[in-house]
Structure 1
Amino acid sequence: MTTLTLPLMVDLKHVHLTDEQFYQLCINNPDLNIERNAAGVLIFMSPVGGYSGNREMELGIDLGIWNRQTGLGKVFSSSTIFKLPGGGNRSPDAAWVELSRWEALTPEQRQKFPPIAPDFIIELRSRTDDLPTLQAKMQEYQDSGVRLAWLFDPQNQQVEIYRQGQEKEVLALPTQLSGEAVLPGFTLEVARFTD
């Protein structure tokens, strides 16, 4: 096993990692799900259970099928960390980046944590997720330039829709969602979540 030595700058409340140190921390600890918010706070996330993992995958499959048919961009799994312009390093449950924006990145930028805000993201609240924490993450996505974002909340049987420059919209499930101008022609029929 490779060990990682990090020369950390520490104040009384925070550990400050450079982008490269954060990248190495994640790469050298592949069994940990780590994010970093815009304030530099490290967030260690627990793995999800079978229900949440299945729901995540099903939502990502629908996005992937639409993208395969249109060829308009690139789809990413929950294992992908994006280096957001607002300073955070986040991994949404599913993400999509418009093709010309993706191709504008260098090969090295594509290889590491892409320094780009996705155009679209999906987050799915698991049983262990705190809703206000996820809503703050959604705001961080918006602040970083994400154009459309869906937060699925099975506990409350609803979905929150975040759009650039607008108040969030909350819809009860079941519902039909549209990718709007961000994902032209993409629609998603969402049933009520059941365990």
Structure 2
Amino acid sequence: MIALNLRPSLELTDEVFEQLCRQNPELRLERTAQGELVAMAPVGSESGLRNADLLGQLWQWNRRTNLGLVFDSSTGFALPNGAIRSPDAAWVARERWQQLTPEQRRRFAPLCPDFVLELRSPSDDLATLQAKLQEYLENGSQLGWLIDPESQRVYVYRPGQPVQVLERPTSLEGDPVLPGFVADLTLIWE
């Protein structure tokens, strides 16, 4: 990951950032609340496999319940603090999504997902990801999971509660934000 401070020579407005993303579709880009451009390297094959498994489980649960919408890691969300972030997986309650205009839905949706998931890859800095999960909470997320295959830990973030650290759990429950969703983590620890 590389963070570039482009100020004062260039202000990374929503329009400029969106144009930059369109012109560089092969890059995973984010914008911090301070206006820095963050470029992230593609993940390795194992991380991609793990992320696809987790995203698939979330998608299947949502398909059954039809309670919201599931987004993958290529989706950017414009958070209230001005950052544009792309969690590895995200879920937004249907009623919140329906409050957005068609134009807002086409761009970086101006909301923080109700649920976010970050899967640490070998190139990710743990402290940076922990700060990112905290940022999601501060911007309205109701549940966040940071899964670290290397340390075999899961960090669970909920508003108004201390971060819960779990050692190699075989599953994670999403209640009450994701009612009835239980993620199977066996593939993560293999």
Tell me which interval the TM-score lies in, with the shorter structure as reference length.
over 0.9
RMSD across aligned positions (CA): 1.4
The answer to whether structure 1 residue 131 and structure 2 residue 126 are counterparts is yes
Of 74, 84, 91 in structure 1, the residue corresponding to residue 86 of structure 2 is 91
Query: Residue type of the partner of 1:147?
Result: Q
TM-score (norm 2): 0.93
Q: Distance in 1 between matches of 2:146 and 2:10?
A: 29
- Give the equivalent residue in structure 1 for 2:3: none
The answer to whether structure 1 residue 185 and structure 2 residue 180 are counterparts is yes
The answer to whether structure 1 residue 150 and structure 2 residue 145 are counterparts is yes
1:192, distance to aligned residue in structure 2 (A) = 6.8
Matches within 5 A, 1:1-195: 10-11=7-8, 15-191=10-186, 193-194=188-189
TM-score (norm 1): 0.91
CA 194–167 in structure 1, closer or farther in 2 if over 3 Å, else same: closer
Q: Distance in 2 between matches of 1:127 and 1:76?
A: 23
CA 194–110 in structure 1, closer or farther in 2 if over 3 Å, else same: same
Q: Distance in 1 between matches of 2:169 and 2:161?
A: 23
Q: Distance in 2 between matches of 1:186 and 1:10?
A: 43
Report SS of the residue matched to 2:52: helix
- Unpaired runs of 5+ residues, structure 1, are 1-8
Number of residues of Structure 1 aligned to a counterpart in Structure 2: 185
Runs of 4+ in 1 over 2 A off after TM superposition: 191-195
Identity, in percent, stands at 54
